[in-house]
Structure 1
Amino acid sequence: MTSEWNHFALGEITELVIDYRGKTPKKLGGDWCKQGYRALSAKNIKTGRIVQAETIRYIDESLYRKWMKDEVQRGDILITSEAPFGQIFFWDSDEKIVLSQRLFCVRIKPEYDARFIYYYMTTPEFQSELDGRATGTTVIGLRQPELMKCIIRCPEIQEQKVIAAILSSIDAKIIANEKVNDNLAA
Structure 2
Amino acid sequence: MGCNQIVPLRDCISLVIDYRGKTPKKLGQEWSSSGYRALSARNIKTGQIVQAENIHYGDSDLYHAWMKDEVQRGDILITSEAPFGQIYRWNSDEKIILSQRLFTVRPNSEICDSRYLYYWMCNSSFQEELKNRATGTTVVGLRQPELLKCSVVLPVMEIQLRIAELLGTIDAEITNLNQTNGHLYERFELAA
What TM-score do you get using the length of structure 1 for normalisation?
0.95
Measured in 1, the distance between the counterparts of 2:184 and 2:37 equals 29
Equivalent position of 1:94 in the other structure: 93
Residue in structure 1 matched with residue 12 of structure 2 by the alignment: 13
The aligned counterpart of 1:143 is: 143
State the structure with more CA Rg. Answer: 2
Equivalence map 1:23-172=2 (5 Å): 23-111=22-110, 112-172=112-172
Q: Distance in 1 between matches of 2:177 and 2:70?
A: 32
Gaps of 5+ in 1: none
RMSD: 1.0
**Could you give the per-residue CA deviations for residues 120-157 of structure 1, whole angstroms, max 9, x where no partner exists?**
01111001100110001111000000000001012111
SS of the aligned residue for 1:16 comes to: strand
Task: Give the Å deviation of 1:176.
Answer: 2.1
Give the letter for the 2:57 counterpart.
Answer: Y
TM-score norm. by structure 2 comes to 0.92
Question: Partner amino acid for 2:27?
Answer: L
Q: Which residue of 1 aligns with 2:178?
A: 178
Q: Secondary structure at the match of 1:35?
A: coil
Distance in structure 2 (CA, Å) of the matches to 1:19 and 1:179: 34
Specify the code of the residue in structure 1 equivalent to 2:150: C
The separation in 2 between residues aligned to 1:37 and 1:185, in whole angstroms, is: 34
CA distance in 2, matches of 1:121, 1:61: 32
Deviation at residue 42 of structure 1 after TM alignment = 0.4
SS in 1 for 2:30: coil
Q: Residue type matched to 2:101 in 1?
A: R
> Percent same amino acid at aligned positions?
61
Which secondary structure does the structure 2 equivalent of 1:169 belong to?
A: helix
Measured in 2, the distance between the counterparts of 1:130 and 1:182 equals 33
Q: How many residues align?
A: 183
Q: Distance in 2 between matches of 1:170 and 1:26?
A: 43
CA distance in 1, matches of 2:104, 2:56: 18
Stretches of 4+ aligned residues off by more than 4 angstroms: none
Counterpart CA distance in 2 for 1:96 and 1:149 is: 28
SS at match of 2:138: coil
Distance between the aligned counterparts of 2:146 and 2:130, measured in 1? 8
